[in-house]
Amino acid sequence: MTERPRAVLAMPAGLPERMFAPGDLAAMHRALDLTAHPGVEPPQGDDIAFLITGWGSPRLDAAALDRLPGLTHVFHTAGSVKALLAPEVWDRDIVVTSAAEANAMPVAEFALGWILLAGKAVPDAAAVYRSSRGTVWADPDAYAGPTFARVGNYRRVVGIISASSIGRRVLALLAPFDLDVLLSDPYVSDADAAALGATKVELAELFARSDVVSLHAPDLPATRGMVTRELLASLPDGATFINTARPAIVDQDGLVAVLKEGRHRAILDVTTPEPLPADHPLWELPNVTLTPHWAGSQGLELHRMGRMAVDAVTDVLAGRRPRGEVTSAMLATMA
């Protein structure tokens, strides 16, 4: 391309400064004839070739696309594009990219941290230590019960649900540790699972054997309600269930019922609804840690997603297929 393509930052005011490091935003302005469009309606213009979108951007349906007859590329600085883009986007051969891969990294890091902390029973040990004001520091009898029966991460069994983009990153991060890793994913072969450092098992076996279960499946019709009360109840005493994926995959009422028994712990970054009502029992259960949908990119991590969009633009301007491309065929198995 010899001329700078006309491009629009179609996202809420203030979001570009959060998503892009200053140098990356400046690079975009140098490479593109770039303007901002913070409105709730889609931009309009015959010469707009590139849209750069993010959280809160206007939805692109057939009517919006009619206002953008020259649109060739959409560069999304966030993860899922399903709510943003109507099928007509792909029908018109518009190239779409997403920063889902960049957003997978902090989620995987968050999951890794909690897997290791859960294996060490850190939340429960900290609670016992705090409640005693330190008087049980060296008292082994204070750390009794199923939670502390098998403390430590040596040869601990960790179950990963789904070899999704995030699931695969978690598996890679687990590789240096002395863990026995199980994987449940109907689309992965035994050999593929082994290459990822895991043993493939069915979902029921994963729950029955795992000391820690981390959920990374996409929210699809086939996965909603997949984690049932019965599966959760089958976890070994003292096991921890971690959800950084989507709440609809889990029978939340069943989860509450199982957690009320006190045999297990849960780390829940997502719930239905978000946030929970003030009187919801999950707030009160001592064996539950709730975080505010915090696993995904926050603060400085947003710049990684913005950088991925910059790299995709650079690829297109150089005549290459852009990194992070999303095709219509991929949507059926994507979050």
Look-up of token digits 């098992």: 201
Please tell me which residue in 4, 293, 304, 323 is annotated as part of the active site: 293
Please tell me which residue in 37, 73, 156, 246 is annotated as part of the active site: 246
Give alpha helix (H) positions in 8-91.
Answer: 15-19, 22-31, 62-66, 88-91
Please tell me which residue in 41, 230, 261, 274 is annotated as part of the active site: 274
* All residues at 6 or more sequence positions from 218 whose CB lies less than 8 Å from its CB, including other chains: 162, 164, 245, 246, 333, 334, 335
Is 76 in the active site?
Answer: no
Pairing of strands 95-97, 325-326: antiparallel
Could you tell me which residues are beta bridge partners of residue 214? 160, 242
Cβ-contact 15, 54 below 8 angstroms: yes
**CA atoms within 13 Å, Cβ hemisphere of 227:** 33
**What element of type H or E holds 158?**
strand 156-161
CA distances from 135 to 126, 127, 130, 145, 146 (A): 13, 13, 9, 18, 21
Neighbours of 99 (CB within 10 A): 27
Instruction: For residue 172, give both structure tokens.
Output: 């890679």
Cβ-contact 247, 270 below 8 angstroms: yes
Cβ-contact 255, 232 below 8 angstroms: yes
Is 274 in the active site?
Answer: yes
Dihedrals φ, ψ of 250, to 5°?
A: -110, 140
Distance from C-alpha of 198 to C-alpha of 190, rounded to nearest angstrom: 9
Positions marked active-site: 246, 274, 293
